[in-house]
Chain A
Amino acid sequence: MTEMAAPRDYYGKALVELGKKNENVVVLDADLSSSTRTSMFAKAYPERFFNIGIAEQNLIGIAAGLANLGKVVFASSFAMFISGRAWDQVRNSVVYPKLNVKIAATHAGITVGEDGATHQALEDIAIMRVLPSLNVLVPADAIEAFQMIKYAAATPGPFYIRMSRGATPLVFKDSDYIFELGKSKILVEGKDVAIIASGIMVDVALKAAAELKKENIAATVVNLSSIKPIDVETIVKVAKATGCVVSAEEHSVYAGVGSAVAEVLALNYPVPMEMVAVQGVFGESGKPEELLDKHNLNVNGILEKVRKVVARK
């Protein structure tokens, strides 16, 4: 039985740990603390937790002000609202003045499920990675999320950390796993195709690689968790080794992880590429698994794209 955990639960745990170690750590939320798990920090350190109410623009502005006077600030809400509603504030009040604000966004992507399209951010990676010098991270599992939160707290400057809602299989079994900014980890090595995946799609990519073995296709699987800065070296390396690439993400096909990979390949080592992503449409209500299947964000979706890209070599 595969061990499962939700990144946001580990986010909450990491905050409590950070709060204990560093009294400069403060946490803000916009009335979603029980969902984002900042409630765990609020319970442990109520004097350093600020609920800003349902006001995401103000949430980011207040986070900027706290950081301006030396606080290490974590600001959370759902990915949709904290990236979309507050984009101008993130750009002008946080990223431009290079303030030490860590935006930890939960409930990203279609696996939000039943709440439907208004709550399913499929554009946040696109609009965040375009901001100069903002670090954009997507953990593959709860263990990586935990590491990223600690890394971000220890690293000056703004971060956007994107987490999905549900419990997903742990990719990293080893608690010694160390996250490195700008580095991508090769999880499986094969010579025929490189699957570069992010977030919940990493585990799906690993399962797809196992299936591909039966078809005598040896796949490399890369966890692209540091979307920005991006690991040009590893992406080029796997492209050279396999000659074709498939990207996989729980995000729009436009300007997300696949596009980031395509930018690297186009400029450095163009190879045939296919993208597994939501095809520029809105989500809808449904069970997370049903939505993933509808949008082909599953093992079969990856297999199909791998077969296609291998044929293009």
Chain B
Amino acid sequence: MISKNVIHQIVEKATMIRERVLDMTSKAKSGHPGGSLSMADIVATLYFHWLKVDPKNPALESRDYFVLAKGHAVPALYAALAEKGFFPLEYLEKLRQLGSPLQGHPVKKSLPGIEMSTGSLGQGLSVMVGMGLALKLDKKENRIYGILGDGECQEGQVWEAAMAASHYKLDNLVIFVDKNGLQIDGPTKQVMNVDPLADKWAAFGWEVISIDGHNVLEIVGALEKSENVKGKPTVIMAQTVKGKGVSFMEHQICFHGSPCTDEQLVVAKKELLATKGNLL
């Protein structure tokens, strides 16, 4: 059983990721804060509790692999990698700037810890399937983790990959669907309904675990459960809130692809600071 102390630390990291996401995107005057905030607790749990990764040795032979299929939410990943020590925190100031390794969407080899280029939605899961197959061929125990968006599940390729992962019995593959229910043009239910999403994954032969994607205890529990799943891949359906953690950003589509204004940033950071205070 995970200790309260550990949970506390993860939540603290999640808050830190949120702060940095807001700082980075506001400084860049560009980027996707909404979907970064919705997956912040998942990313924090993965990088500060779960994933076997070593910032001092990013190429560690026995590492777990993480692929961010919803590549637009990369500010949260950059923040986690920097905080973890994969690269200096100052790099975060260069998000989306000319010549920066912190591209608008992740680029393989541009930074230590970025395992794959993503951005064109729907492609990440296929790549994870290929990586899972490679590990099986080599009889390696490393595991593949990834995060998809719920809107992303509108891409047909996701289901091609879902079919293949199940066909090839990839029990070394665990993905989260960050189900924040909003996409650029509106609520996912209105734009193109993907529900019942959990049923769809189950029908494709996946182990489905549904959780509150902001409850660290549930995130850890789902990850622990996924380790015992044999002969099939696992999807963790994480119910989330877009813009989570900042009151005026929550459930707001406008923050999908636009950062806070300077004035909003001040308010947002005060709120996050209060969250931090509550943790102390």
By a CB distance below 8 angstroms, the chain A residues around B126 are 57-58, 60-62, 64-65, 89, 93
Interface residue? B127 (CB, 8 A):
yes
The A34-72 residues at the B interface (CB cut-off 8 A) are 47-48, 50, 52-53, 55, 57-58, 60-71
Interface check A275, CB cutoff 8 A: no
User: CB of A300 within 8 A of chain B?
Assistant: no
* Chain A residue contacts of B120, Cβ below 8 A: 88-89, 91-93
A65, B132: Cβ atoms closer than 8 Å: yes
A55 and B125 CA atoms in complex are apart in Å by 14
Chain A proximity of B144: nearest CB distance (Å): 9
Q: Is B157 in contact with A47, judged by CB distance below 8 angstroms?
A: no
A55-B160, A55-B164, A89-B157 given; A61·B129 CB < 8 A: yes
Residues on A with beta carbons closer than 8 Å to the beta carbon of B134: 26, 65-66, 68-71
In contact, B130 and A61 (Cβ under 8 angstroms): yes
* A244-290 at interface with B (beta carbon < 8 Å): none
Contacts of B265 on A, CB cut-off 8 Å? none
Using known A-B contacts A26-B137, A57-B160, determine if residue A97 contacts B117 with beta carbons closer than 8 Å.
yes
- Residue of B with least CB distance to A26: B137
Interface residue SS majority, chain B: helix
Q: Which residues of chain A have C-beta atoms less than 8 A from B17's C-beta?
A: none
Answer yes or no: A151 CB below 8 A from chain B CBs. Answer: no
Range class of the A interface residue count: 20 to 34
Q: Are B164 and A64 in contact (CB under 8 A)?
A: no
Among A57, A60, A67, chain B packs the most CB atoms within 10 A around the CB of: A57
Let me know if B272 is at the binding interface, CB within 8 A.
no
CA distance A91 to B117 in the complex (A): 11
Interface residues on B, range: 20 to 34
Q: Is A96 an interface residue (CB 8 A)?
A: yes
Contact check: which of B65, B107, B130 meets A63 at CB < 8 Å? B130
Docked CA distance A308–B129 (Å): 54
A26 to B135, CA, bound (A): 13
Taking a contact as CB atoms under 8 Å apart, the answer to whether A47 and B115 are in contact is: no
| B156 CB-CB contact with A under 8 Å | yes
Q: Is the CB of A50 within 8 A of B127?
A: no
Contacts of B127 in A (CB 8 A): 61-62, 64-65, 68, 93
A97 touches B157 (CB 8 A): no
- CB contacts (< 8 Å) of A50 on chain B: these are 133, 168
B163 at the interface (CB under 8 A from A): yes
Query: Which A residues are CB-close (under 8 A) to B156?
Result: 57
B219 within 8 A of A: no
A231 to B147, CA, bound (A): 44
Q: Does B211 contact A (CB under 8 A)?
A: no
Known: A26-B137, A55-B160, A68-B130. A92 touches B117 (CB 8 A): yes
Pair A61/B133 contact, Cβ less than 8 Å: no
The answer to the question of B79 belonging to the interface, with a C-beta cut-off of 8 Å to chain A, is no
Question: What is the CA–CA distance of A297 and B138 in the complex, to the nearest angstrom?
Answer: 48
Asked whether any CB of chain A lies closer than 8 Å to the CB of B108, the reply is: yes
Q: How far is the CB of A52 from chain B (nearest CB, A)?
A: 6
Q: Which residues of B contact A58 (CB under 8 A)?
A: 126, 129, 157, 160-161, 163-164
Interface CB pairs A-B, < 8 A, 9 = A26-B137, A47-B137, A57-B123, A58-B129, A58-B161, A63-B130, A88-B123, A96-B117, A97-B117
3 closest A-B pairs by beta carbon, nearest first, are A65-B130, A61-B126, A58-B160
